[in-house]
Structure 1
Amino acid sequence: MDKVMRLASDSGVVLFSKSSCCLCFTVKILFQDLGVTPTVHEIDQDPEGREMERALMRLGCNTPVPMIFIGGKLLGSTNEVMSLHLSGGLIPLLRPYQALY
């Protein structure tokens, strides 16, 4: 749990992902389209991935990936991100982390 929380707070936007997950890919593309480059942790390629997956589940998540943290705070998974985006609430959260064009 400590590693997950440390990694989640190391960068502004953090995505815990699995390399073969299509929903993870969708969230990555959304962030890219919004001008944000999240720090991505592919837990299926991390030697401590199983422990990280269990820690994410203990945070109350139904699925361990994709799991998004913004500003060190758990935002949620795909449903929460997409719902927030559709309601107009995601971009204000991401604004401090957007690349300048």
Structure 2
Amino acid sequence: MTIPIPKDDDVMKNMISRNAVAIVGMRDCCMVHVVEHLIHGFGARLTTYNIDEVDKMNALDQLGRIINGAGEDYKVSYKQLPLVFIGGKLFGGVDRVISSHVRSELIPSLKKAGAMWV
């Protein structure tokens, strides 16, 4: 399922935490599709949140606040996107997803988060 980024931090935080796997990336980004394809290939469920070009700066600021919690803002760059959240927590970007898959750590993370039942 693909959903636009909500404007409110609390709404976004709840959307990320309610989904076993949430991907946040730029609309029509090929790397979003790579991550989606990999995770779907395991039979895992996920939700993708798309950032439009118009809302890019606000969405990146919002993600920084969500990632860092109540403390200082963490600056998120569009170059770090897509970001993958597993079990409501930041898992990482494409490099972390791929390297975790190569090290056979991705599937256990997905199972632990309830994204797959195998």
The reply to whether TM is greater than 0.5 is yes
CA distance 1:3–1:59, shift in 2 (3 Å): farther
5+ unaligned residues in a row in structure 1: which ranges?
none
Alignment of 1:18-97 (within 5 A): 18-44=26-52, 50-57=57-64, 58-59=73-74, 61-62=76-77, 63-95=79-111, 96-97=114-115
CA distance 1:14–1:8, shift in 2 (3 Å): same
Q: Report the number of matched residues.
A: 99
For normalisation by structure 2, the TM-score amounts to 0.70
For normalisation by structure 1, the TM-score amounts to 0.80
Give the aligned CA root-mean-square deviation in angstroms: 2.4
5+ unaligned residues in a row in structure 2: which ranges?
1-8, 65-72
CA deviation profile, 1:5-47 (whole Å, cap 9, x unmatched): 22221211111122221111100100110111211111218x8
Paired-residue identity, %: 27
